[in-house]
Amino acid sequence: MQLNQRQKAIVDIVKENEPITGEKIAELLQLTRAALRSDLVVLTMLGVLDAKPKVGYFYIGHSEPSQEYNLFKEMHVSQIMGVPLTVHQNDSVHDVIVQIFMEDTGGGFVLDQDGYLVGLVSRKDLLKASIGGGDLTKLPIGVIMTRFPNITTVLEEELVLEAAEKLVTRQVDSLPVVRPGKDGRLKVVGKFSKTIITRLFLEIKE
Ligand code: ADP
């Protein structure tokens, strides 16, 4: 795997200054620690750098990607997707809010009467509806949802890396995992989210 310019700059800094903290690397590159986080994760997963808590980063420089990285690179969405909260387009906004609390989730996928995907709602959509001032027990979720086809979806057989890229480029928290029917309509079979991918990172590390 080719390192990008910034990753190469990080490696050079670590080689010269090891052990060095993430904060110090960020300072030398005049970037925020947050901006460097994903590069540092990639370099540690690739086995180029090693991180010791409270000490900092060391250069180890393995040219072969680590086993963890290979595992991650080949993983498919179906292997880690979660169970989605699905609601009906005629359900009231009030009922969907209650369901979101009961299921402890961040949003829901909205289905039509035949069980196909027609939209989705996130926390922000529900907050927006709530400050609108109407009667939330009478307002159907179908009125406020982000509507199909303006929805970014992912297929079960897509790579986790591709799905993660969609989350980042579209700036959303979750994607419906879908299975297309013969008529082009989509059945929801799962959910892919930032929480799920964060959990995967921890599991791989363990
Ligand atoms: P939050 O509301 O917590 O910021 P998101 O960033 O996921 O959560 O949602 C922001 C906006 O993007 C909302 O209007 C939501 O309906 C929409 N949205 C969320 N997920 C998707 C998706 N997969 N495809 C298209 N739009 C989405």
pLDDT tens for residues 59-70?
A: 998 656 667 777
d(CA 146, ligand 1 centre) in Å: 8
d(CA 172, ligand 1 centre) in Å: 5
d(CA 23, ligand 1 centre) in Å: 31
* Closest CA to ligand 1's atom 15: 122
* Mean pLDDT score of the chain: 92
d(CA 46, ligand 1 centre) in Å: 31
Among candidates 118, 141, 119, which has minimal Cα distance to 129?
A: 141
* Atom of ligand 1 at shortest range from CA of 127: 2
**Residue 135, both tokens:** 């009667």
Residue 197 CA from chain centroid, whole number: 6
pLDDT confidence band for 2 (50 / 70 / 90): confident
pLDDT confidence band for 202 (50 / 70 / 90): confident
User: Which residues lie with the beta carbon below 6 Å from any ligand 1 atom?
Assistant: 106, 120-125, 146, 150-152, 172-175
> What is the rounded distance in angstroms from the CA atom of residue 5 to the CA atom of residue 14?
14
Tokens 């027990």 locate to: 137
Classify 62 as helix, strand or coil.
coil
Mean pLDDT, residues 167-177: 96
Which carries the bigger pLDDT value, residue 151 or residue 3?
151
* Atom of ligand 1 at shortest range from CA of 171: 6
d(CA 88, ligand 1 centre) in Å: 18
Question: Per-residue pLDDT for 193 more than 90?
Answer: yes
CA atoms within 13 A on the CB side of 111: 15
d(CA 124, ligand 1 centre) in Å: 8
**Residue 170, both tokens:** 């579209």
d(CA 170, ligand 1 centre) in Å: 9
Mean pLDDT, residues 36-54: 88
pLDDT of residue 34: 86
Mean pLDDT, residues 148-157: 97
* Atom of ligand 1 at shortest range from CA of 152: 24
* Atom of ligand 1 at shortest range from CA of 153: 23
Question: Per-residue pLDDT for 15 more than 80?
Answer: yes
* Atom of ligand 1 at shortest range from CA of 119: 16
- Maximum Cα–Cα distance for the chain, whole Å? 64
Q: What one-character DSSP code corresponds to residue 28?
A: H
The pTM (predicted TM-score) of the whole model is 0.74
Question: Per-residue pLDDT for 206 more than 90?
Answer: no
Sheet hosting strand 86-88, strand order edge to edge:
86-88, 107-111, 117-122, 146-147
* pLDDT, tens only, 71-111: 888 899 999 999 999 999 999 999 999 999 999 999 999 99
Residues facing 179 on adjacent strands: 187
* Atom of ligand 1 at shortest range from CA of 176: 23
pLDDT of residue 69: 74
Helices (H), the chain: 5-17, 22-29, 33-45, 67-73, 77-80, 93-103, 123-131, 141-144, 160-170, 194-205
CA atoms within 13 A on the CB side of 21: 8
Tokens 């013969």 locate to: 182
Contacts of residue 84, defined as CB under 8 A and 6 or more positions apart, other chains included, come to 108, 109, 176, 177, 188, 190, 191
* Closest CA to ligand 1's atom 3: 123
